[in-house]
């Protein structure tokens, strides 16, 4: 894959600084919610989230042996707007703290009579007035728990923040803030003033109409790569990527959806989502720390929806970021783009969603394990499922079905993103290496570790004076069943117990490093010793990985024929002969916990048999 690092200007650049040095949440807003609204200028009616209530029953933190990822004080309270970090870093408190950025211009407001005659759209927190070339957004004087716009001064601050923040991506769309006055000239409210975008160029419209999306999605990915490169980061913002913060967000989400569990939503699915999400986080402290060290935790957009993206000839206009709670903007850039990937999948374009994420990788130079991508897509789908439940309570007839579909998306991605430790064992010639290699190939980037290769790395290539390999004719077991000379040497030298133990220890050490970084791992070895298998099981428990044990078996004559073919083909990492096969069979410990995979079939048939144990 060719990586192109882009540093170009965004479409319409010049009307404002794209960077945000701590653009705050306005006074009067709350960080309690976990699901922001999406209110596009053309009238998107996406609602925000409800404030969390009681925790959902049926799920809890996973019982993994891994230590806590954060020190005391690193929970989400550190990123609460208007607060301070334990080190004393102040969270921003209002638009006046826009460091280095000018406040949005004040523009004249249309007369009240003109607004009253305009076409209107309404969301849970705003009314939008649509004229020929302008959109005026007026915040509702409501207190929804996760946001409180009841005071005029708060609404003014929110309007200023919305324009300042959104000019990072669409400076030529967000024109300024207007003061709305009554007949006597007194200021009664405030309006966000926007240039009206063509509805036909809305990304969600293009998806529904079956347009070719590749070029426009690459353009969106490129714009977001530029945007994220310029987005602010700081210790306060970086704390949003900590495990404790992410766990709190999931718990708040589960609490917020508890009221719909068992009514609009399947209780078992909701509970399994909570279990899978927390289990993933529990074992991924090192991955999350690496993301923070690499600088991928930024003050981003927070609400990337296809309804809010307009694909114009000179580039996309990406609108409507979160303005009322910075905690909902702070986070991993992958979580930001995962929002749009989730929305594309919801709209029936999963292949295009995957292509968009690949394009973002290309333009940003950002790399990640597939499991983290699944995790963030699932989180965004889960948040939107909660939003849909709220809409159902407000009378939307389609909301319940939409919530169920989104919940299914979240569940599917969390299951796909499970970190697995797949132990593939068996005697020489049983096909374990072939099966393990194919599993790694089809497993979405899984890591393959082979004991034969690791043994060679530890002790070097076989010495020239080693007993010669058997020919194909000599590979069949002797009729008497007597041991050969090589059998007599099995368990000494390169195959001495201490060398074998060191090989397995090194293989598990490497597996631990990959698992902690969110990579699934396939381990190819004989696994004849129960002590080695116990060590693998302990590792899986330590890092909250799903352990899958597979024992490959086949008839002795089939194994002998395979060994003969391998030996005739030339040098190979495996030095096992039929004699070694017999010696290992005599010494192997029982393996009752493994799923038996019979390999005297095609590789495709064996993989199909394995699939049921991976699901």
Q: Are residues 522 and 534 in the same domain?
A: yes
pLDDT in tens, 210-219: 999 999 999 9
Are the beta carbons of 253 and 382 closer than 8 angstroms? yes
Sign of CA dihedral 195, 310, 385, 168: negative
CA 280 centroid distance within chain: 10
What is the pLDDT, as a whole number, of residue 612? Answer: 86
**What does the DSSP 8-state code read for residue 471?**
P
- Residue 571: is its pLDDT beyond 90? no
Whether 345 and 428 map to the same domain: the answer is: no
Q: How far apart are CA 41 and CA 18, in angstroms?
A: 20
Give residue 530's pLDDT: 96
Residues 424 and 399 in one domain: no
3-state secondary structure of 297: strand
The pLDDT score that the predictor gives to residue 69 is 39
What is the arithmetic mean of pLDDT over 535-539?
98
Lowest mean pLDDT among 133-137, 304-308, 426-430: 426-430
At 450, which helix (H) or strand (E)? strand 447-450
Read off the pLDDT of residues 347-372 as tens digits, 9 standing for 90 and up: 999 999 999 999 999 999 999 999 99
Residue 490 φ then ψ, to 5°: -65, 135
CA 423/CA 380 separation, integer angstroms: 32
Residue 246 and residue 128 share a domain: yes
- Among candidates 374, 302, 340, which has minimal Cα distance to 204? 340
CB 357 within 8 A of CB 342: no
What is the pLDDT at residue 393? Answer: 80
Pairing between β-strand 174-181 and β-strand 106-107 as defined by DSSP bridges: parallel
Mean pLDDT along residues 162-185: 94
**Per-residue b or e along 468-489, where b marks 16 or more CB atoms closer than 10 Å to that residue's CB:** ebbeeeebebeeeeeebebbeb
Collapsing DSSP states into helix, strand and coil, what is residue 22? coil
pLDDT score of 570 more than 90: no
Flag whether 220 is in a domain. yes
Decide which of 559 and 417 is more confident: 417
Whether the pLDDT of residue 246 is over 90: the answer is yes
Instruction: Please indicate, yes or no, whether residues 514 and 380 belong to a single structural domain of this protein.
Output: no
- Whether 106 and 146 share a structural domain: yes
* Mean pLDDT, all residues of the chain: 81
pLDDT higher than 80, residue 116: yes
pLDDT in tens, 179-210: 999 888 999 999 999 999 999 999 999 999 99
- Does the residue 295 lie in any domain? yes
| CATH number, residue 378 | 3.90.1200.10
d(C-alpha 476, C-alpha 257), whole Å: 64
Poorest-confidence range of 287-291, 413-417, 426-430?
426-430
Q: Do 503 and 409 fall within a single domain?
A: no
Domain boundary among 416, 450, 473: 416
Res 20 pLDDT > 70: no
pLDDT of residue 64: 67
pLDDT in tens, 277-335: 999 999 999 999 999 999 999 999 999 999 999 999 999 999 999 998 888 899 999 99
Which pLDDT score, from 0 to 100, does residue 173 have?
A: 97
Task: Please tell me which residue, 74 or 59, carries the higher pLDDT value.
Answer: 59
Q: Which of 509, 522, 545, 519 is nearest to 448 (CA)?
A: 522
Exposure b/e, 159-170, CB count within 10 A at least 16 = b? bbbbbbbbbbbb
The reply to whether 2 falls in a domain is: no
Is the pLDDT at 472 greater than 50? The verdict is: no
Residues 409 and 438 in one domain: no
> Do 411 and 333 belong to one domain?
yes
User: At a CB cut-off of 8 Å and minimum separation 6, what does 272 contact?
Assistant: 59, 411, 414
Predicted local distance difference test score (pLDDT) of residue 575? 66
Number of domains in the chain: 2
Backbone CA torsion sign across 535, 536, 539, 540: negative
Q: Which of 22-31, 277-286, 597-606 has the highest mean pLDDT?
A: 277-286
Among 148-162, 387-401, 503-517, the least confident range: 387-401
Residue 240 has pLDDT above 90, yes or no: yes
Residue 55 placed within a domain: no
Residue 8 has pLDDT above 50, yes or no: no
Q: Does the structure show a pLDDT above 90 at 248?
A: yes
Specify whether 114 is located in the same domain as 196.
Answer: yes
Domain that holds residue 592: 420-614
Q: Find the helix or strand (DSSP H, E) in which 331 lies.
A: strand 330-332
Out of 356, 384, 416, pick the residue that ends a domain: 416
68: number of Cβ within 10 Å = 12
pLDDT at 473: 34
Same domain, 404 and 505: no
Greatest pairwise CA separation for the chain in angstroms: 112
Q: Which pLDDT score is estimated for 467?
A: 43
Is residue 387 within 8 Å of 534, Cβ to Cβ?
no
CA dihedral of residues 492, 494, 495, 499 (deg, nearest 10): 110
Q: Which positions ≥6 away from 112 have C-beta within 8 Å?
A: 180, 182, 183
Residue that the structure tokens 């509970």 belong to: 271
The confidence score (pLDDT) of residue 165 equals: 95
Residue 595, in any domain of the structure: yes
Q: Give dist(CA 475, CA 566) in Å, integer.
A: 11
CB 434 within 8 A of CB 552: no
| Residue 29, in any domain of the structure | no
Decide if 532 contacts 425 (C-beta within 8 A): no
First and final CA of the chain: distance in angstroms?
Answer: 30
Q: How far apart are CA 149 and CA 82, in angstroms?
A: 16
Phi first, then psi: what are they for 510, rounded to 5°? -65, -40
| Residues 40/46/48/49 CA torsion (nearest 10 deg) | -150
Residue 491 pLDDT = 67
What's the CA gap between 615 and 609, in Å, rounded?
11
**Other beta carbons within 10 Å of 262:** 14
- pLDDT above 90 for 577: no
Alpha-carbon Rg for the chain, nearest whole angstrom, is: 29
Q: Is residue 52 part of a domain?
A: no
Run of H or E residues at 106:
strand 106-107
CA angle (441 as vertex; 437, 445 as ends), nearest 5: 120
pLDDT of amino acid 466: 44
What is the distance, to the nearest Å, from the Cα of residue 178 to the centroid of all Cα atoms in its chain?
39
Tens digits of per-residue pLDDT, 71-105? 333 333 333 333 333 333 333 334 333 444 568 88
Same-domain pairing of 444 and 370: no
Which of residues 416, 443, 478 is at a domain's end?
416
Tell me, yes or no, whether 44 lies in a domain: no
Report the C-alpha gap between 39 and 37 in whole angstroms.
Answer: 6
CATH number of the domain enclosing 465: 3.40.50.300
């Amino acid at each position: 894959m060719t990586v192109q690092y882009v540093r170009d200007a965004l479409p319409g650049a010049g009307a404002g600084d794209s960077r945000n040095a701590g653009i705050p949440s306005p006074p009067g807003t709350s960080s309690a919610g976990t699901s922001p609204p999406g209110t596009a200028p053309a009238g998107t009616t996406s609602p925000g989230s409800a404030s969390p209530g009681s925790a959902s029953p049926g799920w809890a933190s996973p019982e993994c042996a891994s230590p806590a990822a954060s020190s005391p004080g690193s929970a989400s309270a550190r990123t609460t707007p208007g607060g301070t970090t334990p080190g004393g870093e102040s969270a921003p408190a209002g638009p006046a703290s826009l460091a280095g950025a000018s406040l949005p211009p004040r523009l004249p407001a249309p007369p009240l009579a003109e607004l009253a005659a305009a076409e209107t759209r309404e969301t849970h927190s705003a009314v939008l007035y649509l004229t020929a070339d302008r959109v005026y957004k007026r915040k509702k004087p409501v207190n929804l728990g996760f946001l409180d716009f009841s005071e005029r001064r708060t609404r003014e601050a929110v309007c200023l923040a919305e324009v300042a923040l959104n000019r990072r991506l669409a400076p030529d769309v967000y024109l300024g803030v207007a003061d709305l006055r009554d007949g006597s000239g007194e200021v009664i409210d405030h309006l966000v003033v926007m240039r009206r975008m063509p509805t036909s160029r809305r990304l969600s419209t293009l998806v529904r109409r079956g347009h070719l999306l590749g070029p426009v999605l690459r353009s969106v990915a490129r714009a977001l790569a530029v945007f994220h490169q310029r987005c602010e980061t700081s210790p306060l913002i970086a704390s949003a990527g900590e495990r404790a913060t992410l766990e709190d967000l999931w718990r708040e989400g589960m609490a917020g959806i508890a009221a719909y569990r068992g009514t609009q939503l399947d209780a078992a699915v909701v509970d399994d989502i909570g279990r899978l999400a927390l289990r993933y986080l529990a074992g991924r402290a090192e991955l999350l720390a690496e993301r923070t060290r690499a600088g991928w935790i930024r003050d981003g957009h927070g609400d990337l929806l296809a309804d809010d993206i307009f694909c114009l000839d000179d580039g996309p206009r990406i609108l409507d970021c979160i303005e009322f709670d910075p905690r909902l903007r702070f986070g991993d850039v992958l979580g930001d783009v995962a929002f749009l990937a989730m929305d594309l999948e919801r709209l029936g374009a999963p292949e295009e969603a995957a292509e968009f994420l690949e394009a973002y990788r290309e333009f940003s130079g950002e790399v990640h394990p597939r499991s983290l991508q699944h995790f963030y897509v699932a989180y965004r789908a889960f948040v939107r499922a909660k939003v849909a439940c709220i809409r159902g309570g407000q009378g939307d007839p389609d909301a319940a079905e939409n919530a169920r579909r989104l919940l299914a998306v979240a569940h599917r991605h969390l299951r796909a993103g499970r970190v697995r430790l797949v132990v593939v064992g068996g005697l020489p010639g049983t096909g374990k290496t072939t099966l393990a290699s194919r599993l790694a190939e089809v497993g979405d980037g899984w890591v393959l570790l082979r004991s034969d290769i690791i043994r060679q790395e530890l002790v070097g290539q076989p010495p020239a004076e080693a007993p010669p390999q058997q020919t194909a004719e000599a590979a069949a077991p002797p009729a008497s069943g007597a041991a050969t000379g090589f059998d007599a040497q099995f368990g000494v030298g390169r195959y001495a117990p201490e060398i074998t133990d060191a090989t397995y220890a090194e293989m598990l050490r490497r597996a631990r490093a990959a698992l902690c970084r969110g990579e699934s791992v396939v381990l190819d070895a004989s696994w004849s010793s129960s002590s080695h298998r116990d060590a693998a099981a302990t590792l899986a428990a330590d890092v909250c990985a799903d352990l899958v044990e597979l024992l490959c078996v086949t008839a002795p004559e089939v194994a002998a024929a395979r060994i003969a073919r391998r030996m005739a083909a030339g040098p190979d990492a495996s030095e096992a002969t039929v004699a070694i096969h017999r010696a290992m069979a005599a010494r192997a410990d029982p393996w009752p916990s493994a799923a038996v995979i019979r390999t005297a079939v095609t590789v495709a048939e064996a993989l199909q048999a394995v699939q049921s144990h991976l699901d």
